[in-house]
Homo-oligomer: A and B are copies of this chain.
């Protein structure tokens, strides 16, 4: 459900906060709220949200000033939501470092699209997260696993099993748990499947499948992955 992005809403109007809470959370964003400038700056600093929605009409301070203060150290996108629609106000906000400016009342889908655009621009520079250990490299985005720079060919089930173990690095997973996760609840007793697939995985990733280094057997319990 979550898309991994957090958004801080700085707005004193309860209706707007409620509306944003419903629409943004429905789209997978994690929301934070502040009802005035002081609280907003504190929360931005303590939570480092991925994006800030800032109302310019705050009770305790001029929004343009808040914007400038945030921009002294806050690098992620800031989108202004304001009832003021004068050109002067918009130009000033954009030149103070705002990424976009929407006038209230705003259209929900447009706001969502502009949030996506702002997030796209600031986070696409980052590399794909790649996990590496020993001679093995795992790229979850590309769904590619390499052993000694050779692309490893895994079937869908093998890949699922491997990533399940990997995600629980160091932990013992019971046979039952693994079977339920990979094959579904009905297969919880088919421990033989597991043995077959574990053997195949070991053949592919272990240097010496007879003396496994990564996929360890916990006799009578299950398996444990050990990346280092």
Chain A residues with CB under 8 Å of chain B are 87-88, 90-91, 94-95, 98-100, 107, 109-110, 112-114, 116-117, 121-122, 141-144, 155-157, 159, 170-172, 218-221, 224
Residues of B within 8 A of A156 (CB): 218-221
Q: Which residues of B contact A221 (CB under 8 A)?
A: 143, 156, 159
How many copies of this chain does one complex carry? 2
Given contacts A143-B224, A155-B219, could you give 10 more A-B pairs where the C-beta distance is less than 8 Å?
Answer: A90-B110, A90-B113, A94-B110, A94-B113, A95-B116, A98-B117, A121-B121, A143-B171, A155-B220, A159-B221
The answer to whether residues A107 and B95 also contact, given A122-B121, A142-B172, A156-B220 and a CB cut-off of 8 A, is no
Cα–Cα, bound, A43→B128 (Å): 33
Tell me the minimal C-beta distance from A185 to chain B in angstroms. 16
Q: Of B88, B99, B144, which one neighbours A170 at CB under 8 angstroms?
A: B144
* A159 CB contacts on chain B under 8 angstroms: 221
Is the CB–CB distance between B155 and A171 below 8 Å? no
How far is A219 from B158 in the complex, measured between Cα atoms in Å?
12
Bound state CA distance, A218 and B159, in angstroms? 11
Closest CB in chain B relative to A157 CB, distance in Å: 8
Task: Choose from B87, B110, B171 the contact partner of A87 (Cβ within 8 Å).
Answer: B110
